[in-house]
Amino acid sequence: MNFLWPGFFYLFGLIPILVGFYIWILRRRKRFTVRYPSLSLVRAANPERSRWKRHIPFVLFLLTLTGLILALVRPVSVVTLPTDKRTIIMAIDVSLSMCAIDIPPNRLEAAKAAARTFIEQQSAGTEIGIVAFAGFAAVLQPPTSDRELLFKAVELLQPARRTAIGSGILKSIDALAEFDENIPPSTFGPSASSPLAPFQPGAYHPAIIVVLTDGVSNIGPHPLDAAQQALERGLRVYTIGYGTESNDSPFNCNPDNPNSQPFRFGGGNFGGGGGNPGGFRRGIDEETLQEVADLTGGAYFAAESATELQDVFQNLPTETITKTELTELSVFFTAIAALMFFLAMLLSMLWSPLS
């Protein structure tokens, strides 16, 4: 449980002051005593239970004050609710290493086929967006439920140089921000600031980002910095490490062209799927992908074949996407305070009537 206005906790200091004041009044009353000729008359008029009954209204009053203070600090709790409205951004790596044919016909074409199958399997209420990233990221298709538009966007995926995983995440955030006004757009640069109303820890939007990559980020913002922005906006990021452990597989960026033949990059200076700007380093940065997923509340998956990639897409939590929101509990404590107050008034009138 969190509190939006914790400064009002200082009001609890009034309770011991009121208790002390109440005790002082009781002791002051003892000075004004009346002598009775017989104790039996006093006992008959003031039975034993009246000694504690007279304190109950004051205790209820303290409970009333406690409830009001708890309402003032505005306690909130994260509540997870199912939702029938789901939004998924598929951020797909199109770096040149995706031309490797270790997953036939090549990694990119196999990823396209898996993406099309994934789109076909989604319910009508699921909105899907397509983001492509290499040296930079671009939104190929804003979130939509139109499958034909999504299929066309998938076909537009073309290989390019470099790998900017962080840019892919930030562009996915922007795609969701255009679609949902409750999600602030991403920020980038030394003066980047957090959203005006960041999500509380554990609260999530009913939207997820799925990042598929086969390499190491070598340009643009660091993936963990981008993941931090997703976390601040309540967006979970699911990452997929795609490709085999083979680092010497031939490349073919046009497998559908009968005249296109597999080739290898010579000299290691073709800047593509990962590594330093002047070299070509291949391999999946699983550690960073796992950290991105853990930071945002998502999960990391590995896929070394087209079949495994299909299975990963099927295992994504698209059917159980929930929305988590903050529920303020002030009304609950206010109701308790009101109940205690009226009970205190009722008992006071019953036990100490004015006439």
Tokens 């899907």 belong to residue: 128
Confidence (pLDDT) at 146: 92
Per-residue pLDDT of the chain (355 residues; tens, 9 = 90+): 677 777 778 888 888 888 888 777 777 766 555 555 555 544 555 555 456 666 777 788 888 888 888 888 877 766 655 555 688 999 999 998 898 888 889 999 999 999 999 999 888 878 999 999 999 999 999 999 999 999 999 999 999 999 999 999 999 999 999 988 888 999 875 444 444 445 555 567 878 999 999 888 999 999 999 999 999 888 999 999 988 876 667 777 887 776 666 656 544 434 344 433 333 445 788 999 999 999 999 999 998 888 998 899 888 876 545 555 667 777 787 888 788 888 877 877 776 654 4
Give the domain ranges of the chain: 2-29+39-79+328-351, 84-320
Structure tokens at 234: 């309540």
- Global model pTM greater than 0.85: no
- Residue 43: the pLDDT is 53
Cα separation, 41 vs 289, in Å, equals 84
Q: What six digits make up the tokens of 224? A: 């963990």
Inter-residue contact 146 to 186 (CB < 8 Å): no
CA distance 158 to 345: 76
pLDDT at 241: 92
Instruction: Quote the CA–CA distance of 161 and 315 in Å, as a whole number.
Output: 30
User: Does domain 84-320 sit in CATH 1.10.3720.10?
Assistant: no
Neighbours of 5 (CB within 10 A): 11
* Spatial CA neighbour of 119 closest among 307, 250, 335, 314: 314
| Token representation of residue 101 | 């044919």
